[in-house]
């Protein structure tokens, strides 16, 4: 089954030191079997791309483990659930696991120690309409666990043709240090394969290709065995060459099918869709076990004595998880994600969330600050490694010069921020920072522009209205004048019938003018363009 599938190459890529081995020596542990429940779970309502779920609970309420506490808001949104049973302490702003240091609305739960589940019922998804299954996935809070946290239910979609050609399950896990997917595939291969089979049926996919980087032979073997054992049809385990970022959704689709899905296009339009292995597992648990997404596998690695993977519930403070692994004394930061694309956390107290695939403990020795930045010498190394075939040094040039239009001409928004360019740059330029800066400036300007457009439209409408009112007034005055004139004329020369008729006709015209004023402009002039959705590398 693994033999002789034609694979394709994506342009560029790098081969950083993978550092995956240390966190794979121990099996995945249930965090709560090794540590007491935290004093409080801080569960952010906004844990996926899209609208912020609105809270369904208030301070003082009792909740059970798995109870819905945040209802999806809008089309792109996903539900959030209680991590344990207990009392809602507060629904308040807390620091988010985001590099900006911003706070957002969180449900804070004080555990009662009973850890009592809600009643869980398998979802009879085979007998349900596709839309109902999608709703079930949304209400179970299933989102992309590869790091992009896009609501899964929106992607479970057979596309325009009514069926997909290929469903790609992403087990590549190309970021250094991260091993959560690897370990999950080794230990829960059956769940992952069964989840993939559900996704296959929901998307009517002709084939399922589970791509795993060939530096994970144990995961490949376990998954292979699970496919054989479950007897699921049309599922193939495909080892792919180990090269960062082979786990980028677009890159993996390219490697497995040869298809390049352009930026801004839906992959379903090309007959493919891609889910992470963790997402497949979560889908299985949501539908077959009726278990909402309240935890995930998290790798703790880097500057710790005992790197390991844990099942951690959302809302658990990162520092509690890290503490189990023995952080070394010189640790100076926590990074969520891997070293290539991860973000430094504003504090170690921030909670684990659905996007937390890895907590990477950093230190000056492990991740030394780069030597001083030198000018770009246009050596072109960045272009050689760019998996989106961009010219990073040109984008850098224009971003730095704030020529954002030119940067966009060089496809700034096709950049997936994988960091390959900065990784190889001999001038040590933090290239990705420049792209992030340029993108945020462009978004800000577009927002400003749409606000300005709105103001201009309002102004123009007011001018139009005033003009119209002026005309109406003038018409009324003219009619009144004609009327008075006619009355006077009638009084003066009652015998002049011809003149009378003329006046009557004029009055008629004037009357008509007042009754049918010029059509007002549409009140609901076209709504201003919505601000662009936040870019998320998947």
Residue 235 makes contact with other proteins by CB under 8 A: no
Residue 7 makes contact with other proteins by CB under 8 A: no
Helices and strands: H and E segment counts in the chain: 15, 17
Residue 337 makes contact with other proteins by CB under 8 A: yes
Question: Binders of other proteins among 82-101, rule CB under 8 A?
Answer: 99
Report which DSSP code applies to 117: B
Query: Nearest distance from residue 28's CB to other proteins, in Å?
Result: 25
Query: Nearest distance from residue 340's CB to other proteins, in Å?
Result: 5
Binding other proteins (rule: CB under 8 A), the pick from 102, 347, 455, 504 is: 347
Could you tell me which stretch among 50-58, 65-73, 120-128, 426-434 binds other proteins (CB under 8 A)?
Answer: 426-434
CB contact at 8 A, 348 and 393: no
Residue 392 makes contact with other proteins by CB under 8 A: no
The closest alpha carbon to 146, from 3, 356, 6, belongs to 356
CB contact at 8 A, 379 and 436: no
Could you tell me which stretch among 8-16, 120-128, 456-464, 506-514 binds other proteins (CB under 8 A)?
Answer: 8-16
Residue 333 makes contact with other proteins by CB under 8 A: yes
CB contact at 8 A, 78 and 72: yes
Binding other proteins (rule: CB under 8 A), the pick from 109, 196, 341, 503 is: 341
∠ CA 530-531-533, rounded to 5°: 110
Residue 437 makes contact with other proteins by CB under 8 A: no
Residue 426 makes contact with other proteins by CB under 8 A: yes
Residue 307 makes contact with other proteins by CB under 8 A: no
Query: Nearest distance from residue 369's CB to other proteins, in Å?
Result: 6
Residue 433 makes contact with other proteins by CB under 8 A: yes
Residue 8 makes contact with other proteins by CB under 8 A: yes
The closest alpha carbon to 282, from 81, 41, 43, 70, belongs to 81
Question: Binders of other proteins among 444-473, rule CB under 8 A?
Answer: none
The closest alpha carbon to 82, from 73, 74, 91, belongs to 91
Backbone torsions φ then ψ of 275, nearest 5 degrees: -125, 150
Residue 261 makes contact with other proteins by CB under 8 A: yes
Question: Binders of other proteins among 144-183, rule CB under 8 A?
Answer: 176
Partners of residue 300 on adjacent β-strands: 308, 359
Residue 427 makes contact with other proteins by CB under 8 A: yes
Binding other proteins (rule: CB under 8 A), the pick from 54, 160, 161, 265 is: 265
Binding other proteins (rule: CB under 8 A), the pick from 275, 284, 393, 398 is: 393
| Cα–Cα distance, 7 to 240 (Å, whole number) | 8
CB contact at 8 A, 307 and 361: no
DSSP-assigned states of every residue in 18-77: ---GGGGSS--EEHHHHSPPPS-EEEES--SSSSPPEE---TT-EE-BT-EEEE--SSS-
Question: Binders of other proteins among 266-305, rule CB under 8 A?
Answer: 270
Per the structure block, which two tokens stand in for 375? Answer: 């000018």
Question: Binders of other proteins among 181-200, rule CB under 8 A?
Answer: none
Sign of CA dihedral 340, 345, 346, 348: negative
Residue 344 makes contact with other proteins by CB under 8 A: yes
Give the per-residue contact string, 499-518, with other proteins (x = CB under 8 A; - = no). Answer: --------------------
Residue 367 makes contact with other proteins by CB under 8 A: yes
Residue 404 makes contact with other proteins by CB under 8 A: no
Residue 21 makes contact with other proteins by CB under 8 A: no
Residue 49 makes contact with other proteins by CB under 8 A: no
Give the sheet arrangement for strand 29-30, strand by strand: 29-30, 308-313, 295-302, 358-363, 331-336, 343-344
């Amino acid at each position: 089954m693994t033999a002789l599938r034609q694979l394709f190459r994506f342009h560029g890529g790098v081969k950083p030191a993978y550092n995956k081995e240390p966190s794979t020596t121990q099996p995945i542990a249930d965090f709560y079997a090794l540590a007491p429940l935290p004093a409080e779970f801080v569960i952010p309502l906004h844990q996926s791309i899209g609208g912020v779920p609105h809270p369904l609970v208030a301070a003082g309420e009792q909740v059970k483990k798995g109870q819905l506490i945040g209802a999806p808001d809008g089309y792109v949104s996903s539900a959030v659930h209680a991590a344990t049973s207990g009392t809602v302490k507060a629904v308040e702003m807390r620091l988010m696991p985001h590099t900006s240091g911003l706070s957002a609305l969180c449900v804070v739960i004080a555990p009662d120690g009973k850890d009592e589940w809600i009643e869980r019922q398998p979802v009879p998804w085979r007998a349900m309409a596709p839309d109902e299954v999608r709703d079930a996935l949304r209400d179970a809070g299933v989102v992309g666990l590869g790091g992009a946290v896009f609501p899964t239910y929106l992607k479970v979609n057979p596309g325009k043709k009514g069926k997909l050609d290929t469903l790609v399950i992403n087990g590549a896990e190309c970021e250094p240090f991260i091993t959560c997917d690897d370990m999950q595939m080794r230990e829960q291969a059956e769940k992952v394969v069964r989840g993939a089979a559900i996704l296959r049926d929901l998307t009517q996919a002709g084939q399922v290709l589970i791509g795993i980087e060939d530096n994970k032979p144990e995961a490949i073997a376990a998954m292979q065995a699970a496919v054989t054992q479950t007897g699921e049809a049309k599922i193939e385990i495909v080892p792919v060459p180990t090269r960062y970022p082979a786990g980028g959704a677009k890159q993996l689709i390219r490697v497995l099918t040869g298809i390049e899905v352009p930026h801004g296009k839906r992959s379903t339009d090309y007959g493919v869709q891609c889910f992470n292995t963790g997402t497949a597992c979560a889908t299985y648990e949501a539908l077959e076990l009726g278990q909402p997404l309240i935890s995930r596998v998290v790798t703790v690695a880097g500057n710790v004595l005992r790197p390991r993977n844990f099942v951690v519930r959302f809302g658990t403070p990162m520092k509690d998880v890290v503490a189990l692994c023995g952080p070394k004394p010189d640790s100076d930061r926590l990074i969520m994600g891997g070293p290539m694309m991860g973000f430094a956390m504003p504090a170690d107290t921030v909670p684990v969330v659905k996007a937390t695939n890895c907590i990477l403990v950093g230190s000056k020795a492990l991740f030394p600050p780069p030597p001083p930045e030198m000018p770009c010498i246009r050596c072109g190394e960045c272009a050689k490694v760019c998996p989106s075939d961009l010219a990073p040094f040109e984008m850098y040039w224009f971003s730095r010069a704030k020529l954002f239009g030119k940067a966009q001409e060089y496809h700034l928004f096709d950049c997936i921020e994988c960091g390959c360019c900065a990784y190889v740059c001999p001038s040590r330029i933090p290239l990705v920072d420049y792209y992030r800066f340029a993108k945020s400036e462009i978004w800000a300007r577009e927002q400003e522009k749409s606000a300005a457009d709105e103001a201009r439209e309002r102004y123009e409408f007011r001018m139009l209205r005033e003009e119209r009112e002026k005309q109406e007034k003038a018409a009324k005055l003219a009619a009144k004048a004609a009327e008075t004139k006619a009355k006077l004329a009638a009084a003066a020369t009652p015998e002049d019938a011809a003149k009378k008729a003329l006046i009557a006709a004029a009055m008629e015209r004037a009357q008509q003018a007042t009754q049918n004023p010029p059509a007002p402009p549409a009140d609901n002039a076209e709504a201003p363009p919505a601000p662009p959705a936040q870019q998320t590398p998947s």
